[in-house]
Amino acid sequence: MCGIVGFIDFTFKSNNQDLKNMLDTLSHRGPDDKGYECYKLNSCLVGFAQARLSIIDLSEKGHQPMHFNQYSIVFNGEIYNYNEIKEELLSLGHYFISTTDTEVILHAYSQWGEKFVDKFIGMFIIAILNKESEEVIIYRDRAGVKPLFLYENEFGFLFASELKAFHKHPFFNKELDISSVQTFFNLGYIPAPYSIFKNCFKLKPGHYLKFNLKSKITTEIKYWDLIDYYLLPKLNLSYLDAKKKVLELLESACNYRMISDVPVGIFLSGGYDSSGVCAILQKNQTEKIKTFTIGFHEGINEAQTAKKIAEKIGTEHHEYYCTSDDAKELIKDLPYYYDEPNADVSNIPTMLVSKFASQFVKVVISADGGDEIFGGYNSYKLIHNTNKLLNKIPDVLKPFLKKQFNRPFNHIINNNMRYKLQFITQSLSNVKNIQSLNLYKTIHTIPSYYNNQIFNQEIPSQKTFLDIDPAAFDNEIDIAMLIDYKNPLPSLLEKVDRATMKYSVEGRDPLIDHRLAEFLAQLPIEFKNDGINSKIIFKDIVNDILGKELMERPKIGFDLPIHTWLKNDLKDLFNDNCSIGQLKKSNIFNLEFIEHQLKDYQNNKLHFSPFIWRLFTFQMWYNKWMI
C-alpha cells in the first residue's frame, strides 16, 4: 500500500524535483519510505515515484521504484496470492531477492506479458516501464479499490494516486470541467473515467492503459468486466450447494486478506457484512482479532450492537464514542483529503474510525461491497415493487401516458408529490427492462427540476450509466446490482481508500474479491434477493455462525445530524462557503434558483436535502483548490 506518482514528458523538461514535489503531497499514504527516479529514453523522459507504507517485507528490499531486467515498477496495493504465483515462477527458473509481492509482479510480467494480471487476486495500481520497447503500461484492479488519476496535454502525461499531486507539476493546468460539476451534483460523486478537471480522467476498473512512447499512441484495454458473468447462463445447482460454495469463497477471500507482516484489525459496525466477515476471520485465527467500532451520541448508533457481536465472536474489541466536535472539526479537512468533490456523508465516520484504528494496527479489513454482490440495498425492493406496479399498466398505454405527463410539474406546489410524479412518468416503458433501468436512474439522480436550474448555462451531459442491453437480463435486480457494482461502488471504495490512507492505514475488502463476485453473478436472483428479502444466501451463512436472533435487525447504517450542524454549530462555515458572494466566484450557478433553495432549506421546506450537502461539499472544494 502506498501512493504513486509519475510523468511521461515529451519535452524532457521535468526532473526529480518535480517528482519529489508531487510525491510529498502523498506522504500520508506512505510514511515509511520514498523513492523517485527519472529515466531518459530516446522518445521522452519518464518519472516514477512511490511513498511506501510497508506491509509485506518491511526491509529496504521493498523499496520502489523496483527493477528487473529492462523493467521498472511502481505499485500501489496488495497481491494476496503472490506466494502461489511466486512458487510457479520459481518452477520456471525465476529467482527472487526479496519477499515482496512487488518483485513477483515484475517477474510475472516478464514471464506472461500483459495477461499476467489474470493471475492476481488483489487490489492494485501497477505501472511498469519497459525501457527496451519504450512502453509504459498501467493496470487498475477489477473492482476499482485503488484509485488512479491521469492528466494529458500536449507536453505529455501525469499520473497519481490522488489529484493533489498534479498541482505540484508545471504541466498541470487546473481548469474546471463543467460537465463533471453537473455530474457531481447529479450523483454526489464523479464516476470513472471522468474527473473534476479538464484533460484529467480516471483509469476505469478492470482496464489498463498502454503508452507507446515512440508513436505517442495510447491504448485503453479492458481485461475484466463483471457483466460478462451476469450474461452467462445461470448456474444449475441447488441452494445448499450454492451456499457451500459461497462460504468457501468467503473463507478464501477473508483469509487472503490476513496476509501481512504487520498487525491487522477489522472495522465492525454490527451489520451483517462486517459481522459475517469478522466471524469468518476469527474462526480461522488462534489469536483474538482486534475489532474497531465508532459510536455517536447523536444520530443512529450501532456501537452497542457491535459490542455484543464482538463478545459473541470473541474478538479484542475497541470502541470510541465520537463527539460532535470530532466530526465537525474533521469536516474542515475533507476538501484536502477528498481533493475531488465527494458528497458521501459517511466519509466522516469512516475517517474517524480509521483514525481510531491507526493507534493499534496498520491494516484494517472492512466489508464494503456486500450490498452490491448479495443484493442488499433497499432500492432493489423499491425498483422491484414499482416495476410490478407499473407493469399493470397495459404496454399500449405507456407511451401515451409518458407523453402526456412528460412535462414540468411546476404547477404542483407540493415538492414531494412533484417528485413522485416525475419518478413514475420518467420510468414508463413498454420495452423489456428499460423501465427497470429508468427506475434505477431516477432513484439515483437528483430530481430533474433541480438539474435543469442549478447552472447558469446549458451543460453537455456525461454518459454516467452503463451501456448495457437491459433485454439481455432476466430481472431488474440483477441490472441494478451490476450498475451499483460498476458505477457508485468504485467511488465508495475510493472514499475508504482516502479515509484510511489519511491516517497511514491500509484498507482491505474481502467482499470485493473478484472470484466471489463472478460466482454470485451467475446465481439465480432468488438466492440473493427475491424482491422481499435481501442478501438471502449471505444472511443464511452468517445466521448459521452467529445465530438469527442476534443478527436480524433492520438495515440502518450511519446517520449523522449533518443538517442540524449546518444550521447551528457549522453555520458560520456553511455561510462562509455558500453565501451568494462565494457562489458568484465560480460563475457557473443560477444564483436566483440556489438562493431560493437556501431559503427553503433554512425554513425546513426543502424536499431534496442532499442538494445542500452537495453544494456545501463543492463550495468547500472550490475554495480549497480553485481560488
Q: Is the peptide bond before 65 cis (omega within 30 degrees of 0)?
A: yes
Any idea which residue has 419518478 for its cell? 423
Bridge partners of residue 37, in order along the sequence: 48
Cβ within 8 Å of residue 389, ≥6 positions away: none
Residue 279 to residue 315: CA distance in whole angstroms:
9
The answer to whether 528 touches 370, Cβ cutoff 8 Å, is no
Residue of 2, 254, 278, 322 marked catalytic = 2
Cβ within 8 Å of residue 333, ≥6 positions away: none
Cβ within 8 Å of residue 366, ≥6 positions away: 266, 267, 274, 496, 507, 508, 509
The answer to whether 429 touches 435, Cβ cutoff 8 Å, is yes
DSSP result, 236-247:
---HHHHHHHHH
Residue 28: strand, helix, or coil = helix
Q: How many residues does the chain have?
A: 627
Terminal Cα-to-Cα distance of the chain (whole angstroms): 32
Sheet holding 363-365, edge to edge: 316-322, 290-296, 264-267, 363-365, 506-508
Sheet holding 2-9, edge to edge: 33-40, 45-52, 2-9, 156-160, 149-153, 200-202
Residue 153 to residue 166: CA distance in whole angstroms:
12
CA 277 to chain centre: 19
2 is catalytic: yes
Residue 584 to residue 145: CA distance in whole angstroms:
36
CA distances (Å), 374 to each of 126, 463, 518, 522, 558, in order? 29, 26, 12, 12, 20
- DSSP code for 48: E
Residue 234 to residue 256: CA distance in whole angstroms:
27
DSSP result, 266-281:
EE--SSHHHHHHHHHH
- What kind and span of H or E run contains 6? strand 2-9
How would you classify residue 105: left for phi > 0, otherwise alpha for psi between -120 and 50, otherwise beta?
A: alpha
Q: Is the dihedral of CA 611, 616, 619, 624 positive or negative?
A: negative
| Residues taking part in catalysis | 2
